[in-house]
């Protein structure tokens, strides 16, 4: 998948950018697919990573929460004679699809795909008028439900934390006033209001609605929670020597991955001025550099790669640790389930 890089891109606006797997050579180098290995691609999308892994001789279990991606990938499944298994599932559940003996690798490419952005009916883009939807799975609470039902204080937190939007209070109060007269239904409806409230300045590199749309998309799909749960699931599902490779496109995502690998490096807890309180065995060892970014050449060919960051870890033989979400310090946001129609 090719994800929305957030503040440094206008992906939320859509555009005729074809699907190009980001950091493909670097992903393959870190993942080391080969004949006899079983790799799980947690974000199948258009199948870019899966195709390259299959070409290297490995077998692939691929997941995607988007039913349209599953349908579109059936031709690839048929073409590989049983070496590709495609499953409709969120990647937070990846351990449920791993064999008892474990996986040799897991790759996750975080975010929204270019295909989803380019389809107006999915509601991810404000450049094309469509329903205010943004649901990757086409199920559950939509962006319209959030915009029309969430309390102003919740909207402010969502826009501020997930979109890093400095004008969150102004935008949220304007939404409250407008929705009292008429509920928001389309992407252009919401984007138009944001343009009026926070007009674009000459120095601005992105559209005024970009960060709000990003925040809504992340919230509606629980993208940060999904990523955190997927990291814990990969720790459980990988066999010793297995490889976890994660490509992110936004600082919020990258911080989660960085914090996870740092925590799983087995550093002892306690102050340096006091005796070591607890010695922890590392569950992951670093693979290569701590972080790899796209080259200038790749970024020139594929602008969506500019903010991409790759982090990877090698699974040790230590037992998996508890899946403690407090590790990531997520703020308390609105209860998504209570905002549905």
Q: Which residues are annotated as a binding site for S-adenosyl-L-methionine?
A: 47-49, 64, 91, 109, 116
Feature table: binding site = 47-49, 64, 91, 109, 116
Ordered DSSP codes for 35-61:
TT-EEEES--TTSHHHHHHHHTT-EEE
CB atoms closer than 10 angstroms to residue 293: 16
Cross-strand pairs, 285: 314
SS (H, E, C) 59-72: EEEEEECCHHHHHH
- Exposure string over 297-335, b if 16+ CB within 10 A, otherwise e: ebbeebbbbbbbbbbbbbbbeeebbeeeeebbeeeebbe
CB proximity list for 230: less than 8 A, separation 6 or greater: 42, 91, 92, 94, 108
For residue 225, give the 3-state DSSP assignment. Answer: helix
CB proximity list for 281: less than 8 A, separation 6 or greater: 266, 316, 318, 319
SS (H, E, C) 277-330: CECCCCCEEECCCCCEECCHHHHHHCHHHCCCEEEEEEECCCCCCCCCHHHHCC
Residue 238 to residue 106: CA distance in whole angstroms: 8
Q: Are 268 and 276 in contact (CB under 8 A)?
A: yes
Total length of the chain: 341
Kindly give the pairing relationship between strand 284-286 and strand 238-248: unpaired
């Amino acid at each position: 998948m090719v994800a929305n890089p957030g503040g440094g891109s206008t992906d939320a606006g859509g555009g005729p950018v074809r699907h190009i797997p980001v950091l493909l050579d670097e992903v393959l180098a870190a993942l080391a697919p080969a004949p006899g290995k079983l790799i799980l691609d947690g974000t199948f999308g258009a199948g870019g990573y899966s195709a390259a892994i299959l070409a290297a001789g490995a077998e692939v279990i691929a997941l995607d929460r988007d039913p349209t991606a599953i349908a579109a990938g059936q031709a690839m499944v048929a073409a590989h004679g049983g070496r590709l298994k495609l499953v409709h599932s969120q990647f937070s559940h990846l351990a449920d699809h791993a064999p008892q003996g474990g996986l040799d690798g897991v790759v996750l490419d975080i975010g929204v795909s270019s295909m989803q952005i380019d389809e107006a009916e999915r509601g991810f883009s404000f450049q094309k008028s469509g329903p205010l939807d943004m649901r990757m799975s086409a199920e559950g609470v939509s962006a319209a439900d959030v915009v029309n039902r969430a309390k102003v204080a919740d909207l402010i937190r969502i826009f501020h934390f997930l979109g890093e939007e400095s004008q969150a209070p102004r935008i949220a109060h304007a939404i409250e006033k407008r929705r009292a007269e008429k509920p928001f239904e389309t992407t252009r409806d919401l984007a138009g209001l944001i343009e009026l409230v926070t007009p674009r300045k000459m120095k601005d590199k992105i559209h005024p609605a970009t960060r709000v749309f990003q925040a809504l998309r992340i919230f509606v799909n629980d993208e940060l929670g999904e990523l955190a749960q997927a990291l814990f699931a990969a720790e459980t599902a990988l066999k010793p020597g297995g490889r976890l490779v994660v490509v992110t496109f936004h600082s919020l995502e990258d911080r989660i991955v960085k914090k996870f690998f740092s925590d799983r490096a087995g550093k002892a807890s306690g102050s340096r001025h006091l005796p070591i309180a607890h010695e922890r065995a590392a569950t992951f060892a670093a693979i290569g550099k701590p972080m790899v970014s796209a080259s200038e050449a790749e970024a020139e060919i594929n602008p969506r790669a500019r903010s991409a960051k790759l982090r990877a870890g090698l699974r040790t033989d230590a037992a998996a640790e508890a899946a403690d979400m407090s590790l990531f310090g997520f703020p308390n946001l609105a209860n998504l389930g209570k905002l549905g129609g």
